[in-house]
Amino acid sequence: MSQKPADLELSSRSEATRASTAEQLSQVRRAARASFIGTTIEWYDYFLYGTASALIFPRVFFSNLSPGVATFASLASFSVSWLLRPIGGVVFGHFGDRFSRKKMLMITLIMMGGSTFLIGVLPSYAAAGIFAPILLILLRMVQGLALGGEWGGAALIVVEHAPPRRRGLYGAAVQMGVPAGLLLSTAVVALASTLPDEAFFSWGWRVPFLLSIALVVVGYWLRTVLEDPKAFRQQVEETRAAQLPIAEVLATAKRKTILLALVQFACNTGYYIFTVYSGSYATEQLGMPRSFLLEALMIAAAVDLVMQPVFAALSDRIGRKPVYIFGSLFIGAWAFPFFALLSSETQPLVWLAMIGALGIGHAATGGINGPLYTEQYPLRMRYTGASLAFQLSGIVTSTPAPLVAVWLVTATGNTDSISVYVIASAVISVVCALLLEETYRKRIDE
């Protein structure tokens, strides 16, 4: 029996809808996969420097200073990139809002990976004197500019492709690059650190930095298959893109930008104290071997990697704010137990300290930063707005964290003051999260 014209039309529409849905899922999976791999490489480069600034660079690039001052100077060189990240966010955000998300991601990947490779060939202070730390800091600044533009583009290209009810889950792919990069960089440094100290500090530490160039090639190839999101392409084709996105952000979204710049206080302060500063504290103050702490970091990063999509999927069901508030409260509550467990110098307890800090606290907050930030801004200025807020948060919350921790321990002789600092950060995060708009059901393609 032949079908009626109306039935044929309905069937044709259904097939077209299914084909469109399949294409959308294919695009978002491709975007999630490419963004995850790309941001893993970016954060590998970034955390590789962080690990080296605590364990290696004081002896290689700041060997003319006393041990305490050398550690402070090395950690300061790690923090300096945060000052450049908002600039990178505005610059790459401007062109990303006006022309292409994808092209900006290609550029940032090359900048980040190239800088990391060049750090691996820098001469030491013993060989080049003051020029060695100067060149190190300059390359760190390039990394800051690159990462300032990387995060916003990677988050947007996934979240804007994602189905409305699964933006959190797919958006987690970007943030999962953080623990994946930490896991990869820590594993490579741990492998290199099995060398005798003389070999490790002369050439062994350079190998992880030089390997970055191979990772860049892989990441670049994966990003060539990406497409800019459909709604964004239509906006550009219809010349509806903002002419000066930063001006629109400052004119129409100052309040939410300030809240978003402060909401990560607990996430960032806790993360950089638990990962970067704890490395220096454990090896220099407690006398732990490098391998002891690096093993704990790898285990915790693996748990963080698994738990981020769990919390992100939960935020698709109950909202971004409840999940983020829970994570912030946990970070504050974990501050005193963390240092108590670390000071035990007992391997399972050190593992537990790191797993709680990263696998619960960071996973519940950092895991949903992608949708949390991108959903707050309209399409025409989203790259700039989300990047600026996210990177300003780094200056306020991440940059001072390791340095404040060093100063507090020096001034007080114990870590209790650091724990109070983390708790105060958690209070700020909770207040800001409560004041933000809930966006997990909001349309973002208009």
Chain mean position to CA 386: 13
Distance of alpha carbon 43 from alpha carbon 301, whole angstroms = 12
Question: Can you give the pLDDT at residue 83?
Answer: 81
> Which residues lie closer than 8 Å to 26 by C-beta, 6 or more apart?
none
The mean pLDDT value for 28-32 works out to: 82
Are 425 and 270 in contact, with CB atoms under 8 Å apart? yes
Q: What is the mean pLDDT of residues 38-44?
A: 79
Nearest C-alpha neighbor of 356 from the set 268, 276, 264, 270: 270
pLDDT at residue 428, as a whole number = 97
| Digit-coded pLDDT (tens) for 418-445 | 999 999 999 999 999 999 999 999 888 7
Contact 150, 111 (CB under 8 A): no
Cα 229 to Cα 411: distance, rounded to the nearest angstrom: 51
pLDDT for position 5: 57
pLDDT value of residue 4? 59
Which of 4-8, 222-226, 238-242 is modeled with the greatest confidence? 222-226
Q: How many CB atoms lie within 10 A of CB 214?
A: 12
Interval 226-240 mean pLDDT = 80
Looking at 20-24, 157-161, 254-258, 435-439, which range is the least confident one? Answer: 20-24
**How far apart (Å, rounded) are the C-alpha atoms in residues 245 and 278?**
39
Report pLDDT for 14: 55
> Which H/E stretch holds residue 76?
helix 67-79
Question: Residue 152's closest CA among 92, 103, 99?
Answer: 92
Q: How confident is the model at residue 269 (pLDDT cuts 50, 70, 90)?
A: very high
Nearest CA-CA partner of 363 in 328, 394, 400: 328
Supply the pTM of this predicted model. Answer: 0.82
| Confidence check: pLDDT of 338 > 60 | yes
Alpha carbon 445 to chain centroid distance? 25
Q: How far apart are CA 417 and CA 336, in angstroms?
A: 10
On average, the pLDDT of the chain sits at: 85
Cα separation, 59 vs 56, whole angstroms: 6
CA distance to 193, 202, 233, 241, 362, per residue, from 60 (Å):
14, 8, 48, 48, 31
C-alpha of 150 from chain center: 10
Residue 6's CB is within 10 A of a number of other CB atoms, namely 8
Among residues 185, 40, 48, 169, the alpha carbon closest in space to that of 118 is found at 48
If you average pLDDT over residues 130-153, what whole number do you get?
Answer: 88
**pLDDT at res. 22:** 66
Residue 248 has pLDDT above 60, yes or no: yes
5-55 vs 167-175: helix axis angle to the nearest 10? 30
Count of residues in the chain: 446
Query: Among 306, 311, 315, which residue's Cα sits nearest to residue 375?
Result: 315
**Which DSSP helix (H) or strand (E) runs through 24?**
helix 5-55
Question: What was the pLDDT predicted at 3?
Answer: 56
How far apart CA 41 and CA 185 sit, in angstroms, is: 9
CA distances from 66 to 38, 62, 63, 70, 79 (A): 38, 9, 8, 6, 20
Cβ pair 158, 35 in contact under 8 A: yes
- What's the pLDDT score for residue 365? 95
* E strand intervals along 10-111: none
For residue 74, pLDDT over 90 is answered with no
**Tokens coding 305:** 């990697």
Question: What tokens were used for 71?
Answer: 């550690």
User: Over 60: is that where the pLDDT of 340 sits?
Assistant: yes
Residue 149 has pLDDT above 80, yes or no: yes
CA distance 428 to 85: 22
Supply 213's token pair: 């160039």
- Using only C-alpha atoms, the chain has a radius of gyration, in whole angstroms, of 22
Distances (CA, A) of 260 to 39, 72, 199, 385, 396: 21, 29, 45, 10, 11
DSSP 241: S
Mean pLDDT across 3-21: 54
Question: What domains can be seen in the chain, in order of their start residue?
Answer: 29-435 (1.20.1250.20)
Instruction: Return the pLDDT at 24.
Output: 65
Is residue 21 predicted with pLDDT exceeding 80?
A: no
Q: Cα–Cα distance between 380 and 98 in angstroms, integer?
A: 8
- In this predicted structure, the answer to whether residue 407 has a pLDDT above a threshold of 70 is yes
Among 180, 68, 33, smallest CA distance to 407 is for 68
Average pLDDT estimate for 76-105: 86
